[in-house]
Amino acid sequence: MTGRTTGAPAPPASLDTAAFRAAAGGFATGVAVLAASDGEHSFAKTVSSFTSVSLEPPLISVAVDSRSPIVAVICASGGFAVSVLHAGQRHLAERFAAPGQGQSRGRFAAVATSPGRSGAPLLDDALSRFDCALHHRLPGGDHTILLGRVLETAHAPGAPLIYHRGRLHGTAPCALAVKPPPEPDRRRSEPPHERP
Protein backbone atom coordinates (compact mmCIF):
# COMPACT_ATOMS: atom_id res chain seq x y z
CA MET A 1 0.00 0.00 0.00
CA THR A 2 1.39 3.35 -1.00
CA GLY A 3 1.13 6.14 1.56
CA ARG A 4 -0.06 9.56 0.47
CA THR A 5 2.18 12.47 1.34
CA THR A 6 0.36 15.52 2.63
CA GLY A 7 1.71 19.03 2.63
CA ALA A 8 1.82 22.09 0.40
CA PRO A 9 0.04 21.78 -2.94
CA ALA A 10 2.22 21.21 -5.98
CA PRO A 11 2.90 24.40 -7.96
CA PRO A 12 1.12 24.70 -11.32
CA ALA A 13 3.01 23.60 -14.41
CA SER A 14 2.95 27.21 -15.58
CA LEU A 15 1.81 30.52 -14.20
CA ASP A 16 0.97 33.53 -16.30
CA THR A 17 3.93 35.86 -15.77
CA ALA A 18 1.97 38.98 -16.68
CA ALA A 19 -0.79 38.08 -14.22
CA PHE A 20 1.75 37.42 -11.47
CA ARG A 21 3.47 40.76 -12.15
CA ALA A 22 0.13 42.59 -12.09
CA ALA A 23 -0.88 40.96 -8.81
CA ALA A 24 2.48 41.75 -7.18
CA GLY A 25 2.20 45.33 -8.44
CA GLY A 26 -0.82 45.87 -6.23
CA PHE A 27 1.49 46.01 -3.22
CA ALA A 28 2.89 49.53 -2.88
CA THR A 29 6.51 49.75 -1.79
CA GLY A 30 9.14 52.34 -1.12
CA VAL A 31 12.03 52.87 -3.53
CA ALA A 32 15.71 52.60 -2.67
CA VAL A 33 19.13 52.65 -4.29
CA LEU A 34 21.31 49.63 -3.58
CA ALA A 35 25.00 50.53 -3.88
CA ALA A 36 28.41 48.90 -3.53
CA SER A 37 32.03 49.57 -4.36
CA ASP A 38 34.90 47.42 -5.60
CA GLY A 39 37.39 49.96 -4.28
CA GLU A 40 37.76 51.67 -7.63
CA HIS A 41 34.25 52.02 -9.07
CA SER A 42 30.81 52.53 -7.57
CA PHE A 43 27.87 50.35 -8.54
CA ALA A 44 24.18 51.06 -7.94
CA LYS A 45 20.74 49.70 -8.76
CA THR A 46 17.23 50.97 -8.02
CA VAL A 47 15.27 48.42 -5.98
CA SER A 48 11.82 48.17 -4.46
CA SER A 49 12.15 44.74 -2.83
CA PHE A 50 13.75 46.02 0.37
CA THR A 51 12.61 45.28 3.92
CA SER A 52 13.78 45.21 7.51
CA VAL A 53 14.14 41.66 8.84
CA SER A 54 15.34 41.66 12.44
CA LEU A 55 16.13 43.99 15.33
CA GLU A 56 18.47 41.59 17.17
CA PRO A 57 20.72 41.42 15.28
CA PRO A 58 19.77 44.36 13.05
CA LEU A 59 19.19 42.82 9.62
CA ILE A 60 17.71 44.04 6.33
CA SER A 61 17.14 42.22 3.05
CA VAL A 62 17.09 43.33 -0.54
CA ALA A 63 16.47 41.31 -3.70
CA VAL A 64 18.20 42.15 -6.96
CA ASP A 65 18.35 40.56 -10.42
CA SER A 66 21.10 37.94 -10.28
CA ARG A 67 22.43 39.11 -13.66
CA SER A 68 23.27 42.56 -12.32
CA PRO A 69 27.01 43.21 -11.93
CA ILE A 70 26.35 44.63 -8.46
CA VAL A 71 25.70 41.14 -7.05
CA ALA A 72 29.25 39.96 -7.74
CA VAL A 73 30.67 43.20 -6.37
CA ILE A 74 28.72 42.88 -3.12
CA CYS A 75 29.77 39.25 -2.68
CA ALA A 76 33.42 40.13 -3.32
CA SER A 77 33.51 43.27 -1.15
CA GLY A 78 31.36 41.86 1.65
CA GLY A 79 29.28 44.99 2.06
CA PHE A 80 26.59 47.21 0.55
CA ALA A 81 24.48 50.27 1.25
CA VAL A 82 20.78 51.03 0.84
CA SER A 83 19.50 54.60 0.50
CA VAL A 84 15.73 55.02 0.73
CA LEU A 85 14.51 57.76 -1.63
CA HIS A 86 12.20 60.61 -0.72
CA ALA A 87 9.36 61.92 -2.89
CA GLY A 88 11.59 64.48 -4.61
CA GLN A 89 14.14 61.92 -5.82
CA ARG A 90 12.27 60.34 -8.73
CA HIS A 91 15.14 61.34 -11.03
CA LEU A 92 17.56 59.23 -9.00
CA ALA A 93 15.25 56.23 -9.11
CA GLU A 94 15.09 56.54 -12.88
CA ARG A 95 18.83 57.13 -13.23
CA PHE A 96 19.77 53.86 -11.53
CA ALA A 97 16.85 51.80 -12.87
CA ALA A 98 17.99 51.20 -16.45
CA PRO A 99 17.57 47.47 -17.28
CA GLY A 100 20.84 45.56 -17.18
CA GLN A 101 22.61 48.40 -15.39
CA GLY A 102 24.35 48.13 -12.07
CA GLN A 103 27.81 49.22 -13.10
CA SER A 104 27.28 52.91 -12.54
CA ARG A 105 30.49 54.61 -13.60
CA GLY A 106 29.73 58.28 -14.12
CA ARG A 107 26.17 58.02 -12.83
CA PHE A 108 27.20 59.42 -9.44
CA ALA A 109 28.74 62.53 -11.00
CA ALA A 110 25.98 64.92 -9.90
CA VAL A 111 24.91 63.01 -6.79
CA ALA A 112 26.21 63.90 -3.32
CA THR A 113 27.35 60.72 -1.55
CA SER A 114 29.40 59.68 1.45
CA PRO A 115 31.17 56.34 1.88
CA GLY A 116 29.90 54.08 4.65
CA ARG A 117 31.98 51.75 6.80
CA SER A 118 31.37 49.09 4.14
CA GLY A 119 32.96 51.35 1.52
CA ALA A 120 29.68 51.60 -0.39
CA PRO A 121 28.32 55.05 -1.30
CA LEU A 122 25.31 56.38 0.62
CA LEU A 123 23.17 59.17 -0.81
CA ASP A 124 23.54 62.24 1.40
CA ASP A 125 19.97 63.47 0.82
CA ALA A 126 18.20 60.11 1.27
CA LEU A 127 15.19 59.62 3.50
CA SER A 128 16.90 56.72 5.29
CA ARG A 129 20.34 55.16 4.94
CA PHE A 130 21.60 51.69 5.86
CA ASP A 131 25.26 50.72 5.65
CA CYS A 132 25.63 46.93 5.84
CA ALA A 133 28.00 44.02 6.00
CA LEU A 134 26.87 41.08 3.87
CA HIS A 135 25.38 38.59 6.34
CA HIS A 136 24.07 35.97 3.96
CA ARG A 137 23.23 35.42 0.30
CA LEU A 138 20.22 33.36 -0.74
CA PRO A 139 18.97 32.19 -4.14
CA GLY A 140 15.55 33.56 -5.04
CA GLY A 141 14.68 32.31 -8.51
CA ASP A 142 15.98 34.83 -11.02
CA HIS A 143 16.93 37.16 -8.13
CA THR A 144 19.54 37.04 -5.40
CA ILE A 145 18.37 37.87 -1.87
CA LEU A 146 21.02 39.76 0.06
CA LEU A 147 20.77 39.75 3.84
CA GLY A 148 22.73 42.58 5.41
CA ARG A 149 23.78 43.20 8.99
CA VAL A 150 23.33 46.92 9.60
CA LEU A 151 26.49 48.75 10.66
CA GLU A 152 25.16 52.30 10.64
CA THR A 153 21.87 54.06 9.94
CA ALA A 154 20.64 57.60 9.42
CA HIS A 155 17.22 59.07 8.69
CA ALA A 156 15.57 62.39 7.93
CA PRO A 157 11.99 63.69 7.96
CA GLY A 158 10.06 63.67 4.72
CA ALA A 159 7.66 61.75 2.51
CA PRO A 160 8.79 58.61 0.65
CA LEU A 161 8.90 57.89 -3.05
CA ILE A 162 6.37 55.12 -3.77
CA TYR A 163 6.34 52.39 -6.42
CA HIS A 164 2.89 51.02 -7.29
CA ARG A 165 1.48 49.33 -10.40
CA GLY A 166 4.74 49.85 -12.27
CA ARG A 167 4.81 53.60 -11.64
CA LEU A 168 6.66 55.97 -9.33
CA HIS A 169 4.54 58.23 -7.16
CA GLY A 170 5.58 61.16 -5.05
CA THR A 171 3.64 61.57 -1.84
CA ALA A 172 2.82 64.47 0.42
CA PRO A 173 2.59 64.38 4.19
CA CYS A 174 -0.89 63.28 5.15
CA ALA A 175 -3.02 65.90 6.81
CA LEU A 176 -6.26 64.55 8.16
CA ALA A 177 -9.07 67.04 7.81
CA VAL A 178 -10.88 66.57 11.07
CA LYS A 179 -14.34 68.04 10.99
CA PRO A 180 -15.12 69.77 14.29
CA PRO A 181 -18.19 68.56 16.14
CA PRO A 182 -21.32 70.70 15.78
CA GLU A 183 -21.83 73.43 18.30
CA PRO A 184 -24.36 72.47 20.95
CA ASP A 185 -27.71 74.28 20.80
CA ARG A 186 -27.43 76.74 23.67
CA ARG A 187 -31.06 77.95 23.42
CA ARG A 188 -33.16 76.98 26.38
CA SER A 189 -35.86 74.61 25.42
CA GLU A 190 -39.24 75.75 26.67
CA PRO A 191 -42.10 73.42 27.41
CA PRO A 192 -44.95 73.57 24.91
CA HIS A 193 -47.84 75.89 25.80
CA GLU A 194 -50.82 74.10 27.16
CA ARG A 195 -54.27 75.07 26.06
CA PRO A 196 -56.55 76.32 28.80
Domains of the chain: 28-166 (2.30.110.10)
Q: List, for residues 176-189, the tens digit of each pLDDT value.
A: 333 445 555 555 54
Instruction: Report the pLDDT value the prediction gives residue 189, as an integer from 0 to 100.
Output: 47
Over its length of 196 residues, how does the chain's per-residue pLDDT go in tens digits?
A: 455 555 667 666 677 788 877 787 777 778 999 999 988 888 999 999 999 999 999 999 999 989 888 999 999 999 999 999 999 999 899 888 876 445 565 667 678 899 999 999 999 999 999 999 999 999 999 999 999 999 999 999 999 998 877 778 886 444 333 344 555 555 554 444 444 4
Select from 84, 70, 82, 81 the least CA-distant residue to 31: 84
DSSP state string for the chain? -PPPPPSSPPPPS---HHHHHHHHTTS-EE-EEEEEE-SS-EEEEEES-EEEEETTTTEEEEEEETTSHHHHHHHHHSEEEEEEPBTT-HHHHHHT--TT--B-TTTTTTS-EEE-TTS-EEETT-SEEEEEEEEEEEEETTEEEEEEEEEEEEE--SPBEEEETTEEEE-------PPPPPPP--SPP-PPPPP-
Handedness of CA 65, 147, 104, 37 (dihedral sign): negative
